[in-house]
Chains A and B, each alone.
Chain A
Amino acid sequence: MAEAVLDAAGHDNHGDPHAVVHKTNTGVSNNKLAMWVFLGSECLLFGGLISTYLLYRTNTQGGPEPSEEFFDIPFTSASSFVLLMSSLTMVLAHSAAGKGDIRKLKIWLLSTALLGSVFVAGQIYEFTVFVREGLGWSTSPFSSAFYALTGFHGVHVTIGIIMLLSTFISAMRGRMHPGNAETVEIVGLYWHFVDIVWVFIFTVIYLAA
């Protein structure tokens, strides 16, 4: 694994003639570091959205309130569990990539994407139920904040699914091998981040209700 990282690190340095022979200053490849840095930025994005939600949580203007009766906690818990399990399959995909087991890599990438899709599908279903129960986008500051926060997260999961499927397709076309296991790791970083953010969102929205 360490070798693989070094390899990938070298090949990223397009501007550096001896990149292949010596590693980056931090030892982390450019691509991976960029993803870490980007995720740092994402923390503040969700931080802003969560703060907005907390501010407007009780501001329901007579519309539906965030309560146990309104939310279907068992349903959302189940879809949250599905999303968390996708982190496990992501780890398995990463491990398979590190071992060069392309067949398993493909299986686990696809499972992760599938689990993610189940989560997004659950979210869309949940939204339709809420709308039917009278929680429209414009109903109250609470409703706007709720849809904005969960919607932003849903878009992030969707982008993650696209990334997973792209990696899956490139594995299908024979372009994945131990030398670029890091690609899977980077997609994984993003995927785990999106999962962890959901843990916070789930707590703040559903459990705090």
Chain B
Amino acid sequence: MAIIENPLELEAGDEVAQVAEKPLGVLTRPQGSTGWQSWLFTVDHKRIGIMYGVFAMFFFLIGGLEALAIRLQLAVPNGKILSPETYNQVFTMHGVTMIFLVIMPLAAAFANYLLPLQLGARDVAFPRMNALSLWVFVAGGFFLCSSLFIGGWFENVPNGGWFNYAPNSGTLFSPTKGIDFYAVGLQILGIASLVSAINLIVTCLNMRAEGMTLMKMPVLTWMLLVVQFLLLFALPVITVALFLLMFDRLWGANFFNVEMGADPLLWQHLFWIFGHPEVYILILPSFGIISEVIPVFSRKPIFGYSFMVASGIAIGFLGWGVWAHHMFVSGLGPISVAAFSVSTMFIAVPTGVKILNWVATMWGGRIQLTTAMLFAIGVVSMFTIGGLSGVTHSVAAADTQQTDTYYIVAHFHYVIFGGALLGIFSGFYFWWPKMFGYKLNEKWGKWNFWLQIVGFNLTFGPMHILGLQGMSRRIDSYDPGYGFELWNMVSSIGAFVIFTGVAIFFVNIYVSQKQAKHLPPVGPDPWDARSLEWMTASPTPEHNFDEEIVVEYQDHFWHQKWAEEEDGRVVRIAYAEDIAHDGSATDVHLPSPSYWPLVLASGLPFIGYGIIYNYWLCAIGGFLTLGAIFGWIFEHPDDPDAAHGHHDDHGDDGDSDHGTPDSDTVDTDADDAELVTASTDAGEASNG
């Protein structure tokens, strides 16, 4: 091809445009906005968010069944339901599933759905990368769970705990393929989270509506932003650890091989430098969710917004300086132990600020005890218990007694179940009408809440006592006569109460959906809420907002509905129905669906199986992944022939990016730049 120095001057229909339009191997784009294909190939952040939720709830059932198996085994002394080997596998998979396949993706579900809406944006910064995150998560999740049956039923399941300490994780002590599934599976999941973190950080920093300064962003969005930064910096550390582990197990390296003088503490440090920020990755989204729910149902603005934001950021920072409190008994030496004790006490301060602010928000408010609010109050109270037992760990002397006992199990279930998961349920009840256009039934919802909270306290409350009595965690059985019988039985009964509560949640979805057909539509703003997502129709139309929003206040939407009179009384000045967008706009330009994220993600499990079993599978996976990258490069982010009922609305801009040849090239190249990151990620993927 001739040297073309300045393509800007070329005329329409020239060869440059053709190069961009019809390169080798371009397939017909996926079309249409209904049917299963519209979900598989979607790049719409709302659909991606919903699918994150659906898959995570599927894994939640698996993780829940594993929990029930554990509690059945421990209900009576010398339980015979699980063998010691199977017990190791089940408690490991319970932890890994609940952390990586349930809580994190459920937070991602809310992040994807709500973050662009709360910012007043059309979509995330990189819609196709967003789809990629989803499908890589799904691929990694199924890869990890396939270890349950690949090579025999419960033969090759990870069995080293979610923390997977060296040297137990080496081939000498863990000869099955289980740990390999752990190492490779978590790396695949890490790619998903990393891509998503980059995407959401850029969205948050770059795509806010006019006037939406950082300090006007809703607390949820702020907390999600902090979480994405934590993911961004924590994931590479676990990635290093997982790579080293993989090198050791598969290719005979010596990172954790004590026989060759390796230091098993290296794993502990790398793991917990990731692992402690991970704790905040799990909990901060729920803090954000209830910071939205509590003001709405207290009919008051959040108390101390800037403190709320600052304490979230402080938790994000301090979360990096406390990792060694997981290692007090590993022989770190008195100075390290003292330093990490103090930093662990410090991190209770911003967390305490948050608890105070939630209580102060409710104080003097007109509290409506909806199910969403009940769950939010549940978080505040249960997390306080979990936080307080956490502070007791910071006292190293006490921690030496508590470590590896059920006291620790009680503590982290109070923060992860009582904090993170209850917060997510609060979010379900709160945003369900926005996502699906109908409310969940309140009567069933209250059954759901009370069974879950009672069951939760029955299950995990007694574990405090068991732990202080000296019952070890991670052991598959206990002998009679140590006084463990009663509380273990109570705990196991509690687990089934939780199970009933969760089952009622699913019943509630079914019932509410049926009832909704006979009820009037919920309208854009059923709760008289405060943030921008309520300013558009329910369920959210594909294009989010009919027109761009110019934000003037924090809680902008609420200020459109209510104003303060001179005597200080707050009066309604408008109804949501009058100011919210009705979703009727058809002239909004949207990104087009794409096959490639799904295809790219589908290659990764093949590479994973290939690394573990047979390198030829890597070739298949590599072919899929590289092929998808190739397709991705040559595909327009926006389909010129899109038939979505939406069309370009800025043809009169003068430098519009459609219909003129010069801008076609620009678009393609912008896409190349997007791919730069994609190919880097894929490059890392093919390393692992």
Q: Judging by beta carbons under 8 Å apart, are B262 and A56 in contact?
A: yes
Query: By CB atoms of chain B within 10 A, which of A61, A141, A170 has the most?
Result: A141
Q: Judging by beta carbons under 8 Å apart, are B127 and A14 in contact?
A: yes
Query: Using Cβ atoms and an 8 Å threshold, which residues of chain A touch B270?
Result: 48, 52
Task: Report the bound CA distance from A61 to B656 in whole Å.
Answer: 65
Q: Judging by beta carbons under 8 Å apart, are A162 and B665 in contact?
A: no
- Residue from A41, A61, A145, A159 in contact with B236 in the complex, judged by beta carbons closer than 8 Å: A41
Query: Using Cβ atoms and an 8 Å threshold, which residues of chain B touch A139?
Result: 254
Q: Is B392 an interface residue (CB 8 A)?
A: no
Task: Report the bound CA distance from A15 to B638 in whole Å.
Answer: 10
How many chain B residues sit at the interface, stated as a range, is 35 or more
Q: How many whole Å from B659's CB to the nearest CB in chain A?
A: 13
Q: Judging by beta carbons under 8 Å apart, are A175 and B16 in contact?
A: yes
Query: Using Cβ atoms and an 8 Å threshold, which residues of chain B touch A111?
Result: none
Task: Report the bound CA distance from A137 to B687 in whole Å.
Answer: 17
Q: Judging by beta carbons under 8 Å apart, are B255 and A141 in contact?
A: yes
If the complex has contacts A17-B122, A17-B649, A25-B207, are A143 and B7 also in contact, measured as CB distance less than 8 A?
no
Contact with A along B625-637 (1 / 0, CB 8 A): 0000000010001
Query: Using Cβ atoms and an 8 Å threshold, which residues of chain B touch A179?
Result: 8, 662, 665-666, 669
Q: Judging by beta carbons under 8 Å apart, are A15 and B669 in contact?
A: no
Q: How many whole Å from A111's CB to the nearest CB in chain B?
A: 17
Binds B, one of A68-76, A78-86, A119-127, A182-190: A182-190
Q: Judging by beta carbons under 8 Å apart, are B206 and A30 in contact?
A: yes
If the complex has contacts A37-B232, A174-B16, are A21 and B650 also in contact, measured as CB distance less than 8 A?
yes
Q: How many whole Å from A154's CB to the nearest CB in chain B?
A: 11
Residue of A nearest to B209 (CB): A25
Q: Is A88 an interface residue (CB 8 A)?
A: no
Q: Judging by beta carbons under 8 Å apart, are A59 and B205 in contact?
A: no
Q: Judging by beta carbons under 8 Å apart, are A148 and B244 in contact?
A: yes
Q: How many whole Å from B26's CB to the nearest CB in chain A?
A: 15
Q: How many whole Å from B657's CB to the nearest CB in chain A?
A: 5
Query: Using Cβ atoms and an 8 Å threshold, which residues of chain A touch B8?
Result: 177-179
Q: Is B121 an interface residue (CB 8 A)?
A: yes
Contact with A along B648-669 (1 / 0, CB 8 A): 0110010111000011011111
Task: Report the bound CA distance from A128 to B266 in whole Å.
Answer: 28
Task: Report the bound CA distance from A21 to B649 in whole Å.
Answer: 12
Q: Is A33 an interface residue (CB 8 A)?
A: yes
Residue of A nearest to B255 (CB): A144
Q: Is B54 an interface residue (CB 8 A)?
A: no
Within 8 A of A (CB), among B32-86: none
Q: How many whole Å from B23's CB to the nearest CB in chain A?
A: 9
Contact with A along B87-126 (1 / 0, CB 8 A): 0000000000000000000000000000010000111111
Query: Using Cβ atoms and an 8 Å threshold, which residues of chain B touch A31?
Result: 670, 673-674, 676-677
If the complex has contacts A41-B235, A148-B253, A173-B1, are A15 and B657 also in contact, measured as CB distance less than 8 A?
no
Q: Judging by beta carbons under 8 Å apart, are B679 and A41 in contact?
A: no
- Residue from A34, A49, A138, A190 in contact with B240 in the complex, judged by beta carbons closer than 8 Å: A49
- Residue from B16, B123, B205, B252 in contact with A15 in the complex, judged by beta carbons closer than 8 Å: B123
Q: Judging by beta carbons under 8 Å apart, are B3 and A12 in contact?
A: no
Task: Report the bound CA distance from A27 to B336 in whole Å.
Answer: 43
If the complex has contacts A138-B254, A162-B679, are A180 and B666 also in contact, measured as CB distance less than 8 A?
yes
Within 8 A of A (CB), among B180-217: 194, 197-199, 201-202, 205-208, 210
Q: Is B555 an interface residue (CB 8 A)?
A: no
Q: Is A28 an interface residue (CB 8 A)?
A: yes
- Residue from B263, B676, B677 in contact with A55 in the complex, judged by beta carbons closer than 8 Å: B263
Query: Using Cβ atoms and an 8 Å threshold, which residues of chain A touch B683?
Result: 155, 159, 162
Contact with A along B234-259 (1 / 0, CB 8 A): 11110111011001100111110100
Within 8 A of B (CB), among A17-45: 17-18, 20-22, 24-26, 28-35, 37-38, 40-45
If the complex has contacts A17-B589, A144-B255, are A177 and B7 also in contact, measured as CB distance less than 8 A?
yes
Within 8 A of B (CB), among A151-209: 155, 159, 162-163, 166-167, 170, 172-180, 182-183, 186-187, 190
Q: Judging by beta carbons under 8 Å apart, are A103 and B253 in contact?
A: no
If the complex has contacts A8-B670, A11-B667, A17-B649, are A144 and B122 also in contact, measured as CB distance less than 8 A?
no
Q: Judging by beta carbons under 8 Å apart, are A141 and B260 in contact?
A: yes
Q: List 7 A-B contacts (CB under 8 A).
A: A11-B670, A144-B253, A166-B679, A167-B672, A177-B7, A180-B669, A186-B676
